[in-house]
């Protein structure tokens, strides 16, 4: 596109007038990786800064939520790297037990093969193959995003080293009696055919029906209400409240269980709410957690009536029926016997579903492995209470405490094949042996290993240290543990964060896995609604990256990152960020065309113009502000501040003001070129962690240096110049006001107007050229006749509009402004006349009002003068 390039001086490189991210980003990323910028050195003398990535599922692909969190983690590590830390951002993947097994099973299903046809060994082999071929798509996408991760340290939770970590900690917990095996009611997925833990259950309100059934015969009857009639086959008691007089006469008696030849006892238990339903509860210890507890208290038998697929196993008319078929069949049979008292009633209640496949879960009595969480959770809570670990934003810690302080034991065994197999062998005489990583499993006749694998979160709980080589005392572990920040969504505080805390403190002798937990919100669409694949509102971030560039996507995400709150994002906003990238591009292009440079020392302040001192003062303030926001994980404020500093102050005002200087040429132009070079250099470095690509392309061009990735992070020199800031603010006011006047007068922006300036009473004399340039004011020639005279900040601007002035429009505008100023004056006067205010208000507040008052008075004077200066109409 040759017509798209502009002629530039020989020395300046030619840049197209529009930033084309696609051409720039890919090669830059590969160059960074080749040069090893992201590879951390455990032997380095620099202080370490470590973030481990929340390992995406091996089955996953990049979605906006990843893009969001990755942007923030990348920004944090990039900045720390620039600040001179040995920064490590460690990537990797999670084997994601159930999720992956399901994917591969589905694949096999297409070939008409089940995993059982293959057998365990061949099946897991198949999963590994699948992993090699299709897994880790997201890792490639991370390159596109610009993630500066250390690829040499990429880990997978099923790696040999990490598997060893799993076995090591299992053994340690087992030996410390923090892991045990017990038969309990667990959440069972009849489709995945495995137990899942409490937090893997998704509750939703389902429509059910409450049916009332008469139990017993003759005098000894009562009515129970249930939504799960099919489990009555396994009832081993009816429970009533001990104080419930309606049933007092039945307590201790046995009554007949309908449809069976069994009779069951009536027991008294305070768990029963006499207000609910009929106040009598059927008790099925093998199929309901509450009933199981009641069974324990009363020594009841547990009768399992369904198999692992939810099919009735009790001999009789219902044998072989699926649980839902059985439900209606049993209700039908009861009705035939006249035992359905009232007609069934629609009833909405919360039902657990498998978080992986959405199947309705079946509580099931079964033998599983458990982690005794109490001591671990206590330590995890204390670490935050003691301030060893900080949670950002702080109010999220309440949620964390609620969880760790009330945690139930964690069911860790899964009836799956894909995962870390439980390192326990059972002997022929009922022995149980837990095998450590360096031990041989017991050999000989009759010994078998537990067939189950561990919950996928068991291994991810070790992630912050297993990835660094634990249980070996590796240099990596020494250097990079504890990690600095754990940045993740608040949706996995319990799944992952709490588990890492427990395991980290336990395995690393009380040293927590990270010092800071930075919790982010979830990404939403532009109306704040959840994005979902099914409704088609989910966006593939790659589409946006392809169209607008990765920097634009990243900047937009960071701009939405108010701590802990959800992040809405719409395509319009990505466009706005793309525009910002383009603005940076063009501003730098302009600078290069005018010889902007970073060569040579910056002249001392006393040799600089007020404009230069002003921008350098603002620049250093911007550095300080950026640092404060970075340190506080305030990405929305950070990006907002940088956006406005760069666009408004540098690209609009400073660049526009500098044009006059450049046109003048000579030494001032050289100084300006140096200052502009400095300002851009720093601004690009400040933006680099969030927008790595444009900034790299421009910064290397501007400075001729190797890469901004390894540049120093800007330091606030402490330079501030309040005088220059005031001066430029006045200048801005003069320009803005005259522009408004021009606009109100219907003058076209480019139209030149003869004008006389009187800047004698101000500090703006040096800016006359700039004022004339920016306001398109021509020198006054013979016959100049001022038709409008504006007085702003002590400066007088007389314009000759040759009789074309719209006096009425101007009078109206001024009258409005005058009214506003007078109102302001009145407000301030009232305040300053208020003794209570003067007595109690802070000095700064009073001073502010005084300033405001004097400004209002000046405005009134100015506007009055202008009104008087208007031609009589």
DSSP 8-state class, residue 495: I
Of 454 and 694, which CB lies nearer to RNA in the complex structure?
Answer: 694
Task: Respond yes or no on whether the N-terminal peptide bond of residue 393 is cis (omega within 30° of 0).
Answer: yes
Nearer to RNA, 79 or 524 (CB): 524
In the bound complex, what is the minimum distance in angstroms from residue 436's beta carbon to RNA?
Answer: 33
Residue 17 near RNA by CB under 7 A: yes
598-627: which residues touch RNA (CB under 7 A)? none
Q: Which of 268, 329, 433, 636 binds RNA (CB under 7 A)?
A: 636
Q: Which of residues 172-201 bind RNA (CB under 7 A)?
A: 198-199
Q: β-strand 362-371 against 220-226: which pairing, if any?
A: unpaired
Considering the complex, state which of residue 595 and residue 603 has its C-beta at the smaller distance from RNA. Answer: 595
9 binds RNA (CB under 7 A): no
Q: Which is nearer to RNA, 279 or 464 (CB)?
A: 279
According to the binding rule CB under 7 A, does residue 277 interact with RNA? yes
Q: Transcribe 455-472 into DSSP letters.
A: -HHHHHTTHHHHTTTTTS
Nearest distance from C-beta of residue 804 to RNA, angstroms = 14
101/695 with CB nearer RNA: 695
Stretch that binds RNA, among 64-72, 325-333, 649-657, 801-809 (CB under 7 A): 649-657
**DSSP-derived 3-state class of residue 121:** helix
Nearer CB in complex with RNA: 42/293: 293
DSSP secondary structure code for residue 105 in this structure: H
- Alpha helices by DSSP H, listed for 136-180, are 137-145, 160-175
**x-or-dash pattern for RNA, window 740-759, by CB under 7 A?**
x--xx---xxx---------
**Would you say the C-alpha torsion 289, 291, 294, 295 has a positive or negative sign?**
negative
399 scored as a contact of RNA (CB under 7 A): yes
Considering the complex, what minimum distance in angstroms separates the CB of residue 213 from RNA? 10
How distant, in Å, are the alpha carbons of 132, 753, 757, 777 from that of 800? 77, 7, 12, 10
Residues 327-366 that bind RNA (CB under 7 A): 349-350
Among 576, 598, 621, 807, binds RNA (CB under 7 A): 576
Buried b (16+ CB within 10 A) or exposed e, 126-154: bbeebbeeebbebbebbbbbbbbbbbebb
Q: Check binding of 302 to RNA (CB under 7 A).
A: no
Task: Give yes or no for residue 831 binding RNA (CB under 7 A).
Answer: yes
Residue 279 as a binder of RNA (CB under 7 A): the answer is yes
H or E element in which residue 559 lies: helix 550-559
Q: Interface with RNA by CB under 7 A: which range of 62-70, 167-175, 468-476, 645-653?
A: 645-653
> Restricting to residues 849-868, which ones interact with RNA according to CB under 7 A?
849, 852, 855
Dihedral-angle region of residue 757 (phi above 0 means left; psi in -120 to 50 means alpha; beta otherwise): beta
Site string for RNA, 401-430 (x = CB under 7 A): -xx--x------------------------
534 binds RNA (CB under 7 A): no
* CA-wise closest residue to 753 among 806, 811, 798, 812: 798
Give yes or no for residue 736 binding RNA (CB under 7 A): yes
Residues 6+ apart with CB under 8 A from 268: 239, 240, 241, 242, 251
Q: How far is the CB of 330 from RNA (least distance, A)?
A: 14
Q: Which of 221, 390, 565, 829 binds RNA (CB under 7 A)?
A: 565
User: Taking CB under 7 A as the criterion, which residues in 41-70 touch RNA?
Assistant: none
Q: CA-to-CA distance for 21 and 693, rounded, in angstroms?
A: 8
- Among residues 472, 460, 457, 464, the alpha carbon closest in space to that of 511 is found at 464
CB atoms within 10 A of CB 632: 14
Q: Locate all alpha helices (DSSP H) within 347-412, ordered by sequence.
A: 374-385, 397-404
Under the binding rule (CB under 7 A), the answer on residue 834 touching RNA is: yes
User: Do the beta carbons of residue 94 and residue 60 sit within 8 Å?
Assistant: no
Stretch 471-510 residues interacting with RNA (CB under 7 A) = 491, 494
- Strands across the sheet containing 237-240: 254-256, 263-268, 237-240, 280-283
Instruction: Judge contact between 482 and 512, C-beta under 8 A.
Output: yes
Q: Which of 251, 647, 780, 832 binds RNA (CB under 7 A)?
A: 647
Which x/- pattern, by CB under 7 A, does the window 228-247 give for RNA?
x-------------------
CB of 495 to RNA, least distance (A): 9
């Amino acid at each position: 596109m040759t017509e798209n390039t502009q002629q530039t001086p020989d020395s300046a490189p030619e840049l197209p007038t529009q930033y084309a991210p696609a051409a720039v980003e890919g090669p830059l990323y590969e160059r960074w990786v080749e040069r090893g910028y992201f590879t951390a050195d455990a032997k380095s003398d620099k202080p370490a800064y470590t973030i481990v990535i929340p390992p995406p599922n091996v089955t996953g692909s990049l979605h906006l939520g990843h893009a969001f969190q990755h942007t923030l983690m990348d920004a944090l590590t990039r900045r720390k790297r620039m600040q001179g830390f040995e920064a490590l951002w460690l990537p990797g993947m999670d084997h994601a037990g159930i999720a992956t097994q399901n994917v591969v099973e589905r694949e096999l299903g297409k070939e008409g093969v089940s995993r059982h046809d293959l057998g365990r060994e061949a099946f897991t082999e198949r999963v590994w193959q699948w992993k090699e071929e299709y897994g880790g798509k997201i890792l490639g996408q991370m390159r596109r995003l610009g993630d500066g991760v250390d690829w040499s340290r990429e880990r997978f939770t099923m790696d040999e080293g990490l598997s060893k970590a799993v076995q090591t900690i299992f053994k340690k917990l087992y030996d410390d009696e923090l892991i045990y095996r017990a038969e309990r009611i667990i959440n069972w997925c009849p489709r995945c055919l495995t137990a899942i833990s409490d937090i893997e259950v998704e509750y939703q309100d389902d429509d059910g029906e409450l049916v009332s059934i008469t139990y017993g015969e003759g005098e000894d009857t009562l009515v129970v209400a249930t939504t799960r009639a099919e489990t009555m086959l396994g009832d081993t008691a009816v429970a009533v409240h001990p104080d419930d007089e309606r049933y007092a006469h039945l307590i201790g008696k046995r009554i007949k269980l309908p449809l069976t030849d069994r009779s069951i006892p009536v027991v008294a238990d305070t768990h029963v709410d006499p207000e609910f339903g009929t106040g009598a509860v059927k008790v099925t210890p093998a199929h309901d957690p509450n009933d199981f507890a009641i069974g324990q208290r009363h020594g009841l038998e547990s009768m399992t009536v369904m198999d692992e697929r939810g099919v009735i196993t009790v001999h009789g008319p219902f044998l072989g029926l699926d649980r839902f078929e059985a439900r209606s069949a049993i209700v039908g049979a009861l009705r035939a016997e006249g035992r359905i008292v009232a007609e069934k009633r629609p009833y909405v209640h919360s039902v657990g579903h498998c978080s992986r496949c959405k199947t309705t879960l079946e509580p099931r009595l079964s033998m599983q492995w458990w982690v005794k969480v109490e001591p671990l959770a206590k330590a995890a809570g204390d670490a935050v209470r003691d301030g060893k670990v900080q949670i950002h934003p702080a109010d999220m810690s309440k949620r964390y405490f609620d969880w760790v302080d009330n945690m139930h034991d964690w069911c860790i065994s899964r009836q799956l094949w894909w995962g870390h197999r439980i390192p326990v062998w059972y002997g022929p005489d009922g022995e149980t042996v837990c095998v450590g990583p360096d031990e041989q499993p017991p050999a000989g006749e009759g010994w078998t290993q537990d067939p189950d694998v561990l919950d996928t979160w068991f291994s991810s709980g070790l992630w912050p240290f297993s990835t660094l080589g634990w249980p070996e005392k590796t240099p990596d572990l020494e250097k990079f543990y504890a990690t600095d920040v754990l940045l993740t969504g608040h949706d996995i505080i319990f799944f992952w964060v709490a588990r890492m805390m427990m395991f980290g403190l336990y395995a690393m002798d009380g040293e927590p896995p990270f010092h800071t937990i930075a919790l982010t919100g979830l990404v939403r669409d532009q109306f704040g609604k959840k994005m979902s694949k099914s409704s088609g509102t989910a966006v593939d971030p790659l589409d946006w990256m392809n169209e607008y560039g990765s920097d634009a996507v990243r900047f937009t995400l960071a701009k939405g990152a108010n701590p802990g709150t959800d992040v809405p994002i719409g395509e319009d906003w990505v466009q706005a960020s793309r525009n910002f990238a383009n603005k940076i591009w063009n501003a730098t292009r302009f600078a290069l065309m005018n010889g902007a440079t970073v060569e040579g020392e910056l002249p001392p302040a006393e040799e600089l113009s007020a404009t230069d001192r002003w921008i350098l003062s603002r620049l250093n303030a911007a550095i300080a502000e950026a640092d404060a926001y970075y340190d506080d994980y305030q990405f929305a404020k950070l990006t907002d501040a940088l956006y406005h500093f760069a666009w408004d102050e540098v690209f609009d005002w400073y660049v526009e003001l500098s044009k006059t200087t450049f046109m003048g040429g000579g030494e001032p132009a050289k100084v300006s070129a140096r200052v502009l070079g400095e300002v851009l250099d720093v601004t690009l470095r400040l933006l680099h962690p969030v927008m790595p690509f444009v900034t790299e392309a421009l910064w290397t061009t501007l400075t001729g240096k190797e890469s901004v990735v390894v540049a120093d992070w800007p330091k606030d020199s402490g330079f501030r110049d309040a005088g220059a800031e005031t001066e430029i603010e006045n200048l801005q006011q003069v320009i803005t006001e005259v522009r408004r006047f021009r606009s109100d007068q219907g003058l076209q922006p480019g139209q030149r107007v003869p004008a006389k300036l009187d800047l004698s009473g101000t500090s703006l004399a040096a800016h006359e050229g700039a004022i004339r340039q920016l306001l398109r004011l021509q020198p006054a020639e013979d016959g100049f006749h001022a038709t409008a005279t504006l007085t702003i900040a002590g400066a007088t601007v007389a314009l000759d509009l040759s009789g074309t002035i719209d006096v009425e429009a101007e009078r109206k505008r001024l009258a409005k402004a005058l009214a506003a100023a007078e109102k302001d004056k009145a407000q301030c006067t009232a305040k300053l006349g208020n003794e209570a205010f003067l007595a109690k208000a802070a000095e700064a507040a009073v001073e502010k009002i005084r300033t405001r008052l004097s400004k209002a008075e000046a405005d009134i004077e100015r506007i009055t003068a202008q009104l008087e200066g208007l031609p009589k109409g």
